[in-house]
Amino acid sequence: MTRIRRASAGALVALVLGTTAACDTGGAGTPEPTPTASASPSPSGTPTPSATASPSAAPEAEPSEGFSPATTTATAEPSDAHVTVVDVRVGTHDGYDRVVYEVAGVGVPGYRVEYVDQAVQDGSGEPVVVAGDAVLDVWLTGTGYPDDTGHDEFAQDVGPREGTVVEVTRPLTFEGMTQSVIGVAGERRPFRVFVLQDPVRVVVDVQSS
């Protein structure tokens, strides 16, 4: 009887150990959850809009006011400005083309924007040659030379290009004013001018339809 009981006890111990081992093996063999891989795909697999869109591909902001007639002269006074135009970019959007003059320095520049028959360079008096049929003359006030502001001036034309705005001449600064000329395809079109912050930008929209 004693031997039979010991054998039964041994079998019981073996059964318990076997069951425990089986449970441990099952736990170790179960794959660990991977929520990061399934719920958050790698950024390189799906580029974000900022990674694929150029700075001028989408409107940077929408003003509250509409377009003014082509006969308008749009003006604003500078606000303690001492800035340099560091970038010029053009984009085509639904119903208008946008020209952005980004500045760096101190304060907010003023502006004077109007259509002219012929743009003339300040200082030299030489005519400004620009592609397009209509000429939109853009003057930014409260500007300075790179040596004064510590920022390099944008130094190239933008275009010629397809669209309503076909070319924008490089900004040229003379005695606190910076001139850039926008060449517009076809007749003179309504436009609007406004300022954006962070960074400071003077925006000129030219209506296309």
Q: pLDDT tens digit string along 110-136? A: 999 999 999 999 888 999 999 999 999
Mean pLDDT, rounded, for 134-156: 97
Question: pTM here?
Answer: 0.72
Phi and psi torsions of 33, nearest 5°: -60, 145
pLDDT of residue 177: 97
pLDDT of residue 59: 60
pLDDT of residue 186: 97
C-alpha of 175 from chain center: 30
Residues 149-175 pLDDT 10s = 999 999 999 999 999 999 999 999 999
Mean pLDDT, rounded, for 36-41: 36
Phi and psi torsions of 181, nearest 5°: -115, 135
Give the residue among 165, 149, 167 at the shortest CA–CA distance from 157: 167
More confident: 145 or 35:
145
Residues 91-113 pLDDT 10s = 999 999 999 999 999 999 999 99
Residues 42-53 pLDDT 10s = 333 333 333 323
Euclidean distance between CA atoms 150 and 82, whole angstroms: 10
More confident: 122 or 36:
122
pLDDT of residue 201: 98
Euclidean distance between CA atoms 193 and 63, whole angstroms: 9
Residues 6+ apart with CB under 8 A from 62: none
Q: Do residues 115 and 136 make contact, with C-beta atoms less than 8 angstroms apart?
A: yes
pLDDT of residue 122: 86
CA distances from 133 to 14, 156, 180 (A): 97, 21, 16
Q: Do residues 164 and 98 make contact, with C-beta atoms less than 8 angstroms apart?
A: no
Q: Taking the CB of residue 200, how many other CB atoms lie within 10 A of it?
A: 19
Euclidean distance between CA atoms 102 and 87, whole angstroms: 5
Q: What is the DSSP string of the chain?
A: -HHHHHHHHHHHHHHHHHHHHHHHHHHHHSPPP-HHHHHS--TTTS--HHHHS-TTSS-S---SS-PBPTT--EEE--EEEEEEEEEEEEEEETTEEEEEEEEEEEEE-EEEEEEESS-B-TTT-PBPP-SSSEEEEEEEESB--HHHHSSPPP-S-B---SSSEEEEPPPEEETTEEEEEEEESSS---EEEEEETTTTEEEEEEE--
